[in-house]
Amino acid sequence: MEKGEKREIWKGFFVNVLGVIVGIILTFGGNALWQKSEENKKIKEILILVRSELKENKEWFKKHERIIKKDRYVYDQIIKAKENIADIHKDTLNVYLSRLISWEDYLLTTSAWQIFQNSEMTQKMTDKELIIRITECYFMIDKVRETIMTEYWYKKKKINTFDLDPYHFFDLVMKNKESVFFFEVMSMDINENGFWAMFPLIDAFIDYTIILLDKHGDYQYDMEEKDNEINSFLRARIDSVFQKKDTIK
């Protein structure tokens, strides 16, 4: 075999080997890129569900705030007339009674967060700070929900005497020290009662988390910087709410 022929054989061999190696690299590299793309797609999909769930929870808190503030007006009127309930017209008293003996047992959903939390996607995310912020937000959601259900709805249920006559009903309620205390506390101006502060607080917390979700993937941020930012964000929201004249009835 001529020397030139041997060179061509070796040359062809190396070209084939190189082609195989490049093919393997491209195959595995392309597969890794595809897998990463699929992971990012799944992360995006679940975060969209979490965002939607946070919006629903935001409305849940707003609805309860409206309901409780309407009740607050009733409590205020009852406290003012507790020495003589007969001063209030029976029709009006019936309206007050209907509010007092009604309550809302709506469940607040956290299913999207549970799915995300229990999935392997949390391990795949590089934006660990975002996971921390979402976790903090759901922790706050759970605590505020628990406060509403125990400090408000549970105590409101205990007031119920199941008496259909409004005059007799409110007469019994006003003789109950626990009920009178509940009325007095809940009828306070929002600037005087810490109970009301949790509504603008959780509203702002959810808004801030949604902002971070919308920016996900666009940047990485410093935790200390974000701690200062969220504190300023929450304080501004609460201050703006409490500076408004309380006219909700």
41 contacts 220 by C-beta, under 8 angstroms: no
User: 125 in a domain, yes or no?
Assistant: yes
Residue-averaged pLDDT of the chain: 77
pLDDT above 90 (res 55): yes
Q: Is residue 36 part of a domain?
A: no
In a domain, 4, yes or no: no
Ranges of H-type helices in 81-127: 90-100, 111-118, 121-124
pLDDT of residue 61: 93
**Highest mean pLDDT of the ranges 12-16, 80-84, 240-244:** 80-84
Is 40 inside any structural domain? no
User: Does residue 182 fall inside a structural domain?
Assistant: yes
Q: At what angle do helices 3-80 and 111-118 cross, to 10 degrees?
A: 150
What is the C-alpha to C-alpha distance for residues 58 and 52, in angstroms, rounded to an integer? Answer: 10
Contact 191, 43 (CB under 8 A): no
Asked if residue 109 has pLDDT above 90, the reply is: no
> Is residue 90 assigned to a domain?
yes
- Residue 56: the pLDDT is 92
Whole-number pLDDT of residue 241: 61
Asked whether residue 98 carries a pLDDT value surpassing 90, the answer given is no
124 touches 152 (CB < 8 A): no
Q: Report pLDDT for 59.
A: 92
Is a pLDDT exceeding 50 seen at residue 248? Answer: no
pLDDT category at 57 given cuts 50, 70, 90 is very high
Residue 237 forms part of a structural domain: yes
Give the residue among 195, 210, 112, 75 at the shortest CA–CA distance from 147: 195
Average pLDDT over residues 52-79: 90
- pLDDT score recorded for residue 222: 59
Say what the pLDDT of residue 80 is: 86
Structure tokens at 119: 């999935």
Q: Please give the structure tokens belonging to residue 2.
A: 């001529």
Tally of structural domains, the chain: 1
Task: Domain of residue 155: give its range.
Answer: 54-242
Determine the angle formed by the axes of helices 3-80 and 166-174, rounding to 10 degrees.
100
pLDDT at 17: 56
Residue 140: inside a domain: yes
| pLDDT grade for 169, boundaries at 50, 70 and 90 | confident
d(CA 90, CA 49): 49
